[in-house]
Structure 1
Amino acid sequence: MLLEKEREKIVLFGNKLISSGLTTGTGGNLSILNREKGLAAISPTGIEYSEIKPEDVVVLDMDANIVDSKKKPSSEYGFHLALYKKRLDICSVIHTHSAYATTMACLQWEIPAVHYLVGFSGHKVPVAPYAEFGTRELADSITMTIKDYNAVLMANHGMAAVGESIARAFAVAEEIEFVARIYYQTKSVGLPPLISKHEMDKVLERFKTYGQK
């Protein structure tokens, strides 16, 4: 089976999306790119995460041709592949419909440095202009907006998180959902003071060596 390890990770982290509350039902999608082989494993469309088996995960080439699987890929495969082409540091993309990040997306509010954990994305989380799901226009909107950030809100839709591995992309999605919740709650009370660019620069520098290597 092509990309067996990648497909197993798609199953594992798909179930984690549900258990962590980062999406519901069949919402959202996730993929892993094997740059050496030029192939991407992406979740199939319209199947409950708990029912997806490794062989159901779709393998695509970079031209969106199905290389292995009898299932149809996620309808959002276009922006996954576009992100892989846009940035060579990205090897995994996770799209969520998590409640607070999606709330910010529907308000079309970027998430500023209200908490230092926004550093999982960068200095902020920008908002990509609205475009219909599954379209080239949406892929263009996301790739034009993401720049060097690791997360982007999709206006009136949800969030996309990226990383050099699926574990990292998942961590980005999880931490940015937390920051989105904090931002929503603080905005409900008043006008939260933000962390300065200078202080966020220090946070981002420390993040480079954070954790086990």
Structure 2
Amino acid sequence: MWTPSIRLAGGVTGLGGLLVAVAAVPTRWFGPRPTDSYVFDPPRFSALWVERTVIPVVAVAAAILLLAGLLSLLWRDRERMARWQRWFAAIAVVGAAIVTLATMLVFSTEGSATSDVSATMNVLIGVALGLLGTVLALPGLVAWGVGYVRNERRRIGAALAGGPVVSGLFVAGSLAAGVSLDPLGGLVIVLPLSLAALIVGADLWRGT
């Protein structure tokens, strides 16, 4: 099934993959962080200003666009998937939706005072929802991808299953080995997810 809306969803998903990488770029790459009074009112385009003003918007936009891409992929291929694959795909989409909500909650507190109880609660709830969403999305994406591989669609299957797994292995490996991911920070972790999103976006764009 191919429609212009599906092709648009492919472009949106690819853009979401790029924004994921942008959101994970260490803010120190944008320059030194302001100190003293500038902490409360950082100069425009400084590293701290980017961290407080730009990164939250980019992160939320990336989460929304990737969710839209997964929904579009499920909608396009729903009739060609086995029942078990549809169920896992639906679980993955629900998990992604929860992660998107968690991202909104966490980044809505950027720039808030640390003593703000409401902001602290938003962060705690966001982290809890993020963990729940990840627990649902990770196995859902892996099983969804395995279904594509079984149907001889190895590229998109490897993207859906491999992207989250490789990112998870990076996190687990760095924690187990006590290795710091600086100076690349979270960029190393999200690059497999970004590449997976680009592959899914290209598949939607082609409408295959």
Higher relative contact order (CA 8 A, sep 6+): 2
Flag the structure with higher strand content.
1
**Common fold: TM-score over 0.5:** no
Larger Rg, first or second structure (1 or 2): 2
TM-score, L = length of structure 1? 0.26
TM-score (normalised: structure 2): 0.27
Which of the pair is proportionally richer in helix? 2
